[in-house]
A and B are shown apart, each in its own frame.
Chain A
């Protein structure tokens, strides 16, 4: 469904992403792992059009989407959440998701219908499904960090995506929040049939939900494979874990 072909991006000569490749099939959950600064976020930024690649291509459902603007990528039904919480801080939880739904339905050029009369049902359904419905009238400044991360996902869902990219969805969450978030991701994959690409530092989560794993080191994607394959791969252990004596977990 998504195919990234030898994509590269440098910042002032520093190769943040270097010849990276990635393949995601429909319905899969693929995890990207790698140490801090490996270039995971940069890779996601390249896929979603926030950054323009120096070279390389991104294909989505066979179509070349390299270099499209983020809003155009979103219209191809690719949505994402951000590692650093990126919500509308002066709007309420409800409005945050509502804007996303309005945008999806191309209603943001409407100047005269009150927003309060539009896409209420859809927005409530999304809030219900992520468990934020009780807090929908709060401004996001009054949310806990964990709830804001969930709101990130809810906003991404507002775009009615087929393909969901999550950048460290559980980072900084309390243990119960993490558990709920994992349930949510599984639910999105199983019940809604979303294809999910995410990155995460917590290996337990990665091995818990991913079908396949891509390992990234210093901007390059070194191995992509099933969990067991990656777990015992020599190159991964050398490069990423720095120890070759034991299998991961």
Chain B
């Protein structure tokens, strides 16, 4: 499966990375395994956003809503119904996808920044509901100690589960990006009018992209439940959405693996910076400015540019 995604040296790095990821629990202490799990699922979340942001050119600035709703749906199923936990896991993403459809249908008639503003408002509405509906969602306490199936209750079990699900989702999203649908989506990003004129129903394609992005954000959400056994309203607060956007920009929103890299950088930074200072958002802001000014295509975009410099044909002026 890796062959289709990477070539040459990249393939070797890919295999090495995979082997390391699978061996990590043998080397790292528990806390770090937890951090790596969070990086993986947040990377999945950022990549799902990038499907619509980087590939679709849709300004879904409040993407955390789908993550939070997926997590809550799973958590509520696990705590309030007697159904098999495995069903709860699949319900989370489906609820997120459905929310993606509903919010998409409302927002899609607007474009660019207007879309963004409406989407942020609707997302905040969902957050308010979760935050205030104490009897159902637990309000600002969230839900704690969510029961999990036996094999997932150990940190290593949760880690391997997260790793495998993330890899599968990555593969599926990669396939989608490289499919005709992905091509059409990128065309729409570059030029919606032109896309319409070659026969593409722009709104429908964007809507499907939003549903897919919602679904995978929901997967990230239920993975968080598995890793952390809690959910809380901050999971769908807009600051998290901002952080995910920054992950995409920082890692490189025109590269498939960029958002995953961005997620890793941000989470590692956040983990270590917050042990020194409480000004995490300040660090985030400075980082953001640095990216905008010096790495407009993100870290991975920058690296790819350097690697390909010699390969691109020079401009020929006829």
Contact = CB atoms under 8 A, between A and B. Distances in A.
Contacts of A115: 178-180, 182-183
A99 B318 contact: no
Contacts, number: 124
The interface size bin for chain B is: 35 or more
A203 interface: no
A88 B194 CA distance: 8
Interface residues of A, number: 50
Given A103-B198, A158-B198, A108 B191 contact: no
Contacts of A156: 198
Interface stretch (A8-16, A30-38, A71-79, A235-243): A71-79
A79 B197 CA distance: 7
B-side interface mostly = helix
Nearest to B197: A70
Interface stretch (B66-74, B227-235, B309-317): B309-317
Interface stretch (B125-133, B141-149, B200-208): B200-208
Contacts of A176: 318
B187 interface: yes
A104 interface: yes
A104 B184 CA distance: 12
A80 B197 contact: yes
Contact of A89 (B190, B196, B315): B190
Contact of B175 (A49, A104, A114, A155): A114
Contacts of A108: 180-181, 183-184, 200, 205
B317 A102 contact: no
A131 to B, nearest CB: 12
A64 to B, nearest CB: 19
Given A71-B201, A103-B200, A144-B318, A86 B181 contact: no
29 contacts: A50-B193, A50-B196, A71-B199, A71-B200, A79-B197, A80-B197, A88-B191, A90-B186, A90-B189, A90-B254, A91-B186, A98-B183, A102-B184, A103-B184, A103-B200, A104-B198, A108-B180, A109-B180, A111-B179, A111-B181, A112-B176, A113-B180, A114-B175, A137-B313, A139-B312, A142-B314, A142-B315, A155-B198, A159-B199
Interface of A: 48-50, 69-71, 74-75, 79-80, 82, 86-91, 95-96, 98-100, 102-104, 107-116, 118, 137-139, 142, 144, 146-147, 155-156, 158-159, 174, 176-177
Interface of B: 4, 175-176, 178-184, 186-187, 189-191, 193-202, 205, 208, 254, 312-318
